[in-house]
Chains A and B, each alone.
Chain A
Amino acid sequence: MRSRSSLLTFTLILGAALLIGALNLAVPPGAAMHAPDYIVSLAGKYTCYAILALALDLVWGFAGILSLGHAAFFALGGYAIGMYLMRQIGARGVYGSAVLPDFMVFLNWKELPWYWHGFDMFWFAALMALAVPALLASLFGYFAFRSRVTGVYLSIMTQALTYALMLAMFRNDMGFGGNNGLTDFKDILGFPLAAASTRVALLLASALALGLCVLLARFVVASRFGKVLVAVRDAESRTRFLGYRPESYKLTVFVLSAAMAGLGGALYVPQVGIINPSEFSPANSIEAAIWVAVGGRGTLSGAILGAVLVNLGKTVLTGALPDAWLFVLGGLFIAVTLFLPGGIAGTWFIRKPRGARAPAAGVREAAP
Chain B
Amino acid sequence: MKASIRAILLIALVLASPLAHAQSHSDARESHSDARALLASQRYDDVREGVHTLAASGNPNAAALLTALRDGRLFFASDKALYIRGQDGRLTTESGHPAPDIAASALHPVRVNNAVRRAADAALGALNLFAPSATDRETAAAAVFQTRDPALLPALDRALAQEKDPSVHRAMEQAWAAVLLSSGSGSAAERLAAVAALRARGDLESRAILASLSGQPPELVEASGQAVRAIDRDLQLWNLAQNVFYGISLGSVLLLAASGLAITFGVMGVINMAHGEMVMLGAYTTFVVQQAMQAYSPGLLNLSLPASVPLAFLIAGGAGVLIERGLIRFLYGRPLETLLATFGLSLILQQAVRILFGPTNRQVAAPPWMSGATRLGGLTLTWNRLWIIAFAALVFAGLMALLRYSSLGLRMRAVTQNRTMAAAMGIRTPWIDALTFGLGSGVAGMAGVALSQIDNVSPNLGQAYIVDSFMVVVFGGAGNLWGTAVGALTLGVVNKFLEPVAGAVLGKILVLIALILFIQRKPRGLFPLRGRAAEA
Contact surface of A with B, Cβ cutoff 8 Å: 66, 140, 143-144, 146-149, 151-153, 155-157, 159-161, 163-164, 167-168, 170-171, 282, 286, 289-290, 293, 323, 326-327, 329-334, 336-338, 341, 361-364, 367
Hey, which chain A residues are within 8 Å of B340, CB to CB? Answer: 286, 289-290, 293, 333, 336-337
A143–B517 contact, CB under 8 A?
A: yes
B341–A168 contact, CB under 8 A?
A: no
Given A170-B505, A334-B341, is A152 in contact with B519 using a C-beta cutoff of 8 Å? no
B336–A334 contact, CB under 8 A?
A: no
Hey, which chain B residues are within 8 Å of A338, CB to CB? Answer: 327, 330-331, 341
Distance in Å: Cβ of B355 to nearest Cβ of chain A: 6
Interface contacts beyond A144-B520, A163-B467, A326-B347: sample of 10 additional A-B pairs, CB < 8 Å, sorted by A = A147-B519, A147-B520, A155-B336, A156-B271, A164-B513, A168-B509, A289-B340, A326-B348, A333-B341, A338-B341
Residue of B whose beta carbon sits closest to that of A64: B336
CA distance A289 to B344 in the complex (A): 11
CA distance A343 to B160 in the complex (A): 84
In the complex, 11 of the A-B residue pairs with CB atoms within 8 angstroms, ordered by the A residue number, are: A147-B521, A149-B523, A157-B519, A161-B516, A163-B467, A167-B505, A168-B505, A168-B506, A286-B340, A326-B351, A363-B334
Hey, which chain A residues are within 8 Å of B209, CB to CB? Answer: none
Q: Contact partner of A331 among B339, B348, B517, B520, CB < 8 A? A: B348
CA distance A143 to B515 in the complex (A): 13
B344–A143 contact, CB under 8 A?
A: no
B347–A330 contact, CB under 8 A?
A: yes
Residue of A whose beta carbon sits closest to that of B349: A330
Hey, which chain A residues are within 8 Å of B344, CB to CB? Answer: 290, 329-334, 337
Distance in Å: Cβ of A357 to nearest Cβ of chain B: 10
Given A329-B344, A338-B341, is A149 in contact with B519 using a C-beta cutoff of 8 Å? yes
Contact with A along B327-366 (1 / 0, CB 8 A): 1001101111111110111111011100100000000000
Interface residues of chain A: helix, strand, loop or mixed (majority): helix
CA distance A289 to B343 in the complex (A): 11
Hey, which chain A residues are within 8 Å of B352, CB to CB? Answer: 327
Residue of A whose beta carbon sits closest to that of B467: A163
Distance in Å: Cβ of B487 to nearest Cβ of chain A: 14
B467–A160 contact, CB under 8 A?
A: yes
Hey, which chain B residues are within 8 Å of A286, CB to CB? Answer: 340, 343
Chain B stretch 490-519: residues in CB contact (< 8 A) with chain A: 503, 505-506, 508-509, 512-513, 515-517, 519
Chain B stretch 517-536: residues in CB contact (< 8 A) with chain A: 517, 519-521, 523, 535-536
Hey, which chain B residues are within 8 Å of A323, CB to CB? Answer: 351, 355
A159–B467 contact, CB under 8 A?
A: yes
Hey, which chain A residues are within 8 Å of B513, CB to CB? Answer: 164
Residue of A whose beta carbon sits closest to that of B331: A337
Residue of A whose beta carbon sits closest to that of B534: A367
Q: Contact partner of B509 among A157, A164, A330, CB < 8 A? A: A164
Most buried by B among A156, A159, A338, A364: A156
Is B62 engaged at the interface, CB distance under 8 Å to the other chain?
no
A362–B336 contact, CB under 8 A?
A: yes
Given A143-B520, A332-B344, is A341 in contact with B337 using a C-beta cutoff of 8 Å? yes
Hey, which chain A residues are within 8 Å of B519, CB to CB? Answer: 147, 149, 153, 157
Q: Contact partner of B333 among A160, A332, A363, CB < 8 A? A: A363
Distance in Å: Cβ of B509 to nearest Cβ of chain A: 5
Chain B interface size range: 35 or more
Hey, which chain B residues are within 8 Å of A361, CB to CB? Answer: 336
Is B474 engaged at the interface, CB distance under 8 Å to the other chain?
yes
Q: Contact partner of B347 among A152, A156, A171, A333, CB < 8 A? A: A333
B350–A326 contact, CB under 8 A?
A: yes
Residue of B whose beta carbon sits closest to that of A159: B467
CA distance A265 to B516 in the complex (A): 25
B345–A160 contact, CB under 8 A?
A: no
Hey, which chain B residues are within 8 Å of A330, CB to CB? Answer: 344-348, 351
CA distance A341 to B519 in the complex (A): 30
B509–A167 contact, CB under 8 A?
A: yes
B345–A333 contact, CB under 8 A?
A: yes
CA distance A144 to B517 in the complex (A): 9
Residue of A whose beta carbon sits closest to that of B503: A171
Hey, which chain B residues are within 8 Å of A332, CB to CB? Answer: 344
Is B471 engaged at the interface, CB distance under 8 Å to the other chain?
yes
Hey, which chain B residues are within 8 Å of A66, CB to CB? Answer: 336, 339
Is B470 engaged at the interface, CB distance under 8 Å to the other chain?
yes
Distance in Å: Cβ of B340 to nearest Cβ of chain A: 5
CA distance A361 to B337 in the complex (A): 9
Residue of A whose beta carbon sits closest to that of B335: A152
CA distance A144 to B334 in the complex (A): 21
Distance in Å: Cβ of B330 to nearest Cβ of chain A: 6
Distance in Å: Cβ of A8 to nearest Cβ of chain B: 29
The 9 closest A-B pairs by CB, nearest first: A333-B344, A330-B347, A330-B348, A326-B351, A330-B344, A164-B512, A362-B336, A337-B337, A337-B341
Residue of B whose beta carbon sits closest to that of A151: B335
Distance in Å: Cβ of B311 to nearest Cβ of chain A: 26
Distance in Å: Cβ of B450 to nearest Cβ of chain A: 23
B271–A152 contact, CB under 8 A?
A: yes
Residue of B whose beta carbon sits closest to that of A364: B335
CA distance A143 to B330 in the complex (A): 33
Distance in Å: Cβ of A292 to nearest Cβ of chain B: 10
Hey, which chain B residues are within 8 Å of A331, CB to CB? Answer: 344, 348
CA distance A40 to B131 in the complex (A): 81
CA distance A291 to B517 in the complex (A): 30
Distance in Å: Cβ of A150 to nearest Cβ of chain B: 9
A327–B348 contact, CB under 8 A?
A: yes
Distance in Å: Cβ of B507 to nearest Cβ of chain A: 10
CA distance A171 to B502 in the complex (A): 12
Residue of A whose beta carbon sits closest to that of B471: A160
Distance in Å: Cβ of A347 to nearest Cβ of chain B: 15
CA distance A333 to B474 in the complex (A): 25
Distance in Å: Cβ of B246 to nearest Cβ of chain A: 20
B336–A152 contact, CB under 8 A?
A: yes
Hey, which chain B residues are within 8 Å of A151, CB to CB? Answer: 335-336
A153–B523 contact, CB under 8 A?
A: yes
Contact with A along B266-302 (1 / 0, CB 8 A): 0000010000000000000000000000000000000
Hey, which chain B residues are within 8 Å of A143, CB to CB? Answer: 516-517, 520
Distance in Å: Cβ of A69 to nearest Cβ of chain B: 11
Q: Contact partner of B470 among A156, A161, A168, CB < 8 A? A: A156
Hey, which chain A residues are within 8 Å of B351, CB to CB? Answer: 323, 326-327, 330
Residue of A whose beta carbon sits closest to that of B337: A337
CA distance A293 to B331 in the complex (A): 15
Most buried by B among A286, A333, A363: A333
Residue of A whose beta carbon sits closest to that of B333: A363
CA distance A152 to B473 in the complex (A): 13
Hey, which chain B residues are within 8 Å of A149, CB to CB? Answer: 519-520, 523
Residue of B whose beta carbon sits closest to that of A335: B344
CA distance A159 to B506 in the complex (A): 17
CA distance A175 to B140 in the complex (A): 51
Hey, which chain B residues are within 8 Å of A326, CB to CB? Answer: 347-348, 350-351
Hey, which chain A residues are within 8 Å of B515, CB to CB? Answer: 160
Hey, which chain A residues are within 8 Å of B523, CB to CB? Answer: 147-149, 153
CA distance A293 to B337 in the complex (A): 9
Distance in Å: Cβ of B416 to nearest Cβ of chain A: 15
Distance in Å: Cβ of A68 to nearest Cβ of chain B: 8
Chain B stretch 212-262: residues in CB contact (< 8 A) with chain A: none
Distance in Å: Cβ of B461 to nearest Cβ of chain A: 15
B516–A157 contact, CB under 8 A?
A: yes
Distance in Å: Cβ of B516 to nearest Cβ of chain A: 6
Hey, which chain B residues are within 8 Å of A333, CB to CB? Answer: 340-341, 343-345, 347
